[in-house]
Amino acid sequence: MARIVMKFGGTSMAGTERIRRVARIVQRQQAAGHEVAVVVSAMAGETDRLVNFAREANPLYDPAEYDVVVASGEQVTSGLLALTLQALGCKARSWLGWQLPVRTVGAHAKARIDDIPAEALIASMASGEIAVIPGFQGLSDDNRVTTLGRGGSDTSAVAVAAAVKADRCDIYTDVDGVYTTDPRIVAKARKLKTVTYEEMLELASVGAKVLQTRSVGLAMKEGVRVQVLSSFIDDDAPPADSIPGTMIVSDAEVEGQDMERQLITGIAHDKNEAKITLTRVPDKPGSVAHIFGPLAAASINVDMIIQNVAKDKGETDVTFTVPRTDLARSLAMLEAKQSEIGFYRLISDAHVAKISVVGVGMKSHAGVAATMFKSLADRAINIQAISTSEIKVSVLIDEDETELAVRVLHTAYGLDAVDAAA
Ligand code: ADP
Ligand code: ASP
Ligand code: MG
| Ligand 3 centroid, distance to 154 Cα (angstroms) | 7
> Which residue CA neighbors atom 4 of ligand 2 most closely?
47
Q: Are residues 273 and 346 in the same domain?
A: yes
Ligand 2 atom at minimum distance from 149 CA:
9
> Which residue CA neighbors atom 9 of ligand 1 most closely?
210
pLDDT tens digits, 291-308: 999 999 888 999 999 988
Q: Please count the residues of the chain.
A: 422
Ligand 2 atom at minimum distance from 212 CA:
8
Which of 186, 190, 210 has most ligand 1 atoms within 8 Å of CB, for mutation? 210
Residue 384 domain flag: yes
State mean pLDDT over 338-367: 93
| Ligand 1 centroid, distance to 215 Cα (angstroms) | 14
How many domains does the structure of the chain reveal? 2
Q: Establish whether the linkage from the previous residue to 101 is cis, with ω within 30° of 0.
A: yes
Residue range of the domain that includes 47: 3-175+210-255
Ligand nearest to the CA of 147: 2
Q: Are residues 7 and 129 in the same domain?
A: yes
- Of the chain, the percentage scoring pLDDT greater than 90 comes to 84
Q: Are residues 115 and 76 in the same domain?
A: yes
* The pLDDT of residue 59 is above 90: no
Q: Where are the beta strands (DSSP E) in 266-381?
A: 266-270, 273-282, 305-307, 315-323, 346-349, 352-358
Q: What letter would DSSP give residue 362?
A: G
Ligand nearest to the CA of 356: 1
The angle subtended at Cα 124 by Cα 120 and Cα 129, nearest 5°, is 155
C-alpha pair distances (Å), 234 with each of 28, 123, 143: 12, 31, 42
Q: Are residues 225 and 277 in the same domain?
A: no
Predicted TM-score (pTM) of this structure? 0.92
Residue at which a domain ends, from 255, 283, 314: 255
Give yes or no for residue 10 CB within 6 A of ligand 1: yes
341/360 Cα distance (integer angstroms): 39
Q: Are residues 108 and 149 in the same domain?
A: yes
| pLDDT of res. 422 | 44
Q: What letter would DSSP give residue 191?
A: B
Residue 111 domain flag: yes
Give yes or no for residue 41 CB within 6 A of ligand 2: yes
pLDDT tens digits, 301-327: 999 999 887 776 789 999 999 999 899
73/57 Cα distance (integer angstroms): 17
Residue of 310, 293, 308, 315 lying closest to 386 (CA atoms): 308
pLDDT tens digits, 60-116: 889 999 999 999 999 999 999 999 999 999 999 999 999 999 999 998 999 999 999
* The pLDDT of residue 409 is above 80: yes
| pLDDT of res. 418 | 82
Q: Are residues 230 and 339 in the same domain?
A: no
Q: Are 350 and 360 in contact (CB under 8 A)?
A: no
Contacts of 161 (CB under 8 A, 6+ apart): 5, 168, 169, 219, 222, 224, 226
362/355 Cα distance (integer angstroms): 16
402/38 Cα distance (integer angstroms): 36
- Of the chain, the percentage scoring pLDDT greater than 70 comes to 95
Q: Are 337 and 366 in contact (CB under 8 A)?
A: no
Ligand nearest to the CA of 46: 2
Q: In what order do the strands lie in the sheet with 266-270?
A: 266-270, 352-358, 392-398, 385-389
